[in-house]
Amino acid sequence: MKLAFAVRPDWDVAIDAARDAARRARANGHEVAEVKLDSTALAREVAGAEVAIVFGGDGTMLRAARSLAPLAIPILGVNLGRLGFLAGGSLEELDGLLAEIGAGRFSCEERTLLEAKVRLRDGAATEALALNDVVVARGKEVRSIHVDVKIDGAPFTVYWADGLIVATATGSTAYGMSVGGPLIIPSSRAIMIVPIAPHLSFPNAVVLDVDQTIALEVLDEPARLSLDGQEEHDLHVGDRIEVRRATPVARFVRTATMRPFLTLLRKKILKEEGGPA
């Protein structure tokens, strides 16, 4: 079985862990490609891999999802960070997980990605993917901004807030939940809008159907666009961001011995490990 062991290029701990694990995997008969997630030749390097093992924390998993989802390669996270909510496995569990994967005892859970099309007032345009969220927020000045929102081309409302979050179900347990948004089971394909500190604006989160399109127009500046909290761009009055469900999906590997989502939620987010089942 061919596996891709993927790391951030700037994290020596992950690089060392992946190298050691690759040696053991090869000794057990696997073909392993060791790759960097920012490689310009990533598609060629991972060609033929049936699963990508991603070494790092949840931030690395976000990068991996954006990079590998278009290549249709399922991902398994090995947590080397603090939270480990997306990267659900550990180094100690890895050999056992690889044995399950090698025996075909695994499934893939599909997670929705967002596609953000950014159209600047000067005519320039760009596109990007996000697994957690697309956020339009105020810039360096500590004041609210106005953001005009349309849903499927129809006017919805103008928010006056510190910003707006457009999140997937996966992202509902990230920034969206921290500002009072709903928790959505990650296998759901729903998309939600959550305002950040709304001022005299509609304060509730809005959950949308999977195929609806959200258009955001910036009415104040300075403002900032953030994709998964990792890629950021300055925005100006008149800039537009169109957000919809992306065609590719992130595929998360699940084995029988991995902890289910609700168990991880109770332990990592609700801090209720050891409470009643």
Q: What angle do CA 252, 255, 257 make, to 5 degrees?
A: 130
Give the Å distances, CA to CA, from 39 to 79, 87, 250. 21, 21, 19
Neighbours of 244 (CB within 10 A): 19
By annotation, the residues acting in catalysis are 58
Q: How far apart are CA 258 and CA 82, in angstroms?
A: 18
Q: What is the 3-state secondary structure (H, E, C) of 31-85?
A: EEEEEECCCCCHHHHCCCCCEEEEEECHHHHHHHHHHHHHHCCCEEEEECCCCCC
Q: Which residues pair with 56 in a beta bridge?
A: 79
